[in-house]
Amino acid sequence: MIERSDKSDRLRINEIFHSLQGEADAVGFRTVFVRLTGCPLRCQYCDTEYAFHAGDWHGIDAIVDTVRGYAAKHVCVTGGEPLAQPNCLKLLERLCDAGFDVSLETSGAMNIADVDARVARVVDVKTPGSGESARNRIENFTLLTRRDQLKFVICSREDFDWSKAYLEEHELADRCSILFSPSYTQIAPTDLAEWILAERLDVRFQLQLHKVLWGDVPGK
Ligand code: SF4
């Protein structure tokens, strides 16, 4: 359905759904996910390719009303790459104003400087195994606070070694939480857990809880 709303106040939405947060600091909490259409990257392991093109336009008021209908405290704005739509910044602000605990999942390729300070930003660092490591926006790193999280999806032992060196090179460990996730089906989770222990890395291992519970299906 295409709503009649001012272009300055609308976003193309792929889906809005209700689930348990599967990753990062809010893992396990009942959360409403607002998935925006579109992404300029093409990571080889992408599990949301269905969000690259499909979606309808919705005004911000209608989006906030839909989110409110689930009566959940947590809201996660995700994609695709949500910041590829400039009105995402307005949506984040409006969700914070409405009293939600808001997080943003972003690829690390876009400027995060203008994201509302109340939002917890979960920023990817793309490893070589993703095929998109040239897109990492290093200027973002100095903007990170303890509220934010940097997420590495590890596809191989080479990716792990690269990530360890990258943390040191950019002095990231003290800026915010560092999350290491195994790329789903590409490495065994236990291998990544063992590497972290053997190397004594102070990073947080995580599995995608929603995939453990429901498998790799959209809308969960
Ligand atoms: S940034 Fe995210 S949505 Fe975009 S291609 Fe990579 S994994 Fe998929």
Tell me which of 88, 107, 127, 137 to substitute to probe ligand 1's pocket, judged by most ligand atoms within 8 Å of the beta carbon: 107
107 within ligand 1 shell (Cβ under 6 A): yes
The residue-averaged pLDDT of 133-156 equals 96
Tell me which of 39, 125, 140, 152 to substitute to probe ligand 1's pocket, judged by most ligand atoms within 8 Å of the beta carbon: 39
pLDDT of residue 220: 81
Instruction: Indicate whether 4 pLDDT > 70.
Output: no
Q: Other C-beta atoms within 10 Å of 81: how many?
A: 25
- For ligand 1, what atom is nearest to the CA of residue 130? 6
Task: Give the global pTM.
Answer: 0.94
The residue-averaged pLDDT of 153-167 equals 98
41 within ligand 1 shell (Cβ under 6 A): yes
- Quick one: what percent of the chain has pLDDT higher than 70? 97
- For ligand 1, what atom is nearest to the CA of residue 124? 1
pLDDT of residue 7: 77
| Gap from CA of 120 to ligand 1 centroid (Å) | 19
Tell me which of 33, 43, 50, 125 to substitute to probe ligand 1's pocket, judged by most ligand atoms within 8 Å of the beta carbon: 43
Instruction: Indicate whether 208 pLDDT > 50.
Output: yes
Residue 115 CA to residue 104 CA, distance in Å, equals 9
CB 80, CB 48: distance < 8 Å: yes
| Gap from CA of 171 to ligand 1 centroid (Å) | 25
pLDDT of residue 5: 57
Bridge partners of 178, per DSSP, are 150
Residue 129 CA to residue 22 CA, distance in Å, equals 22
Residues in the chain: 220
pLDDT of residue 8: 83
Tell me which of 37, 45, 48 to substitute to probe ligand 1's pocket, judged by most ligand atoms within 8 Å of the beta carbon: 48
| Gap from CA of 29 to ligand 1 centroid (Å) | 23
**55 phi and psi angles, rounded to 5 deg:** 165, 160
Q: What is the pLDDT of residues 101-142, one digit of tens each?
A: 999 999 999 999 999 999 999 999 999 999 999 999 999 999
43 within ligand 1 shell (Cβ under 6 A): yes
What value does the mean pLDDT of the chain take? 94
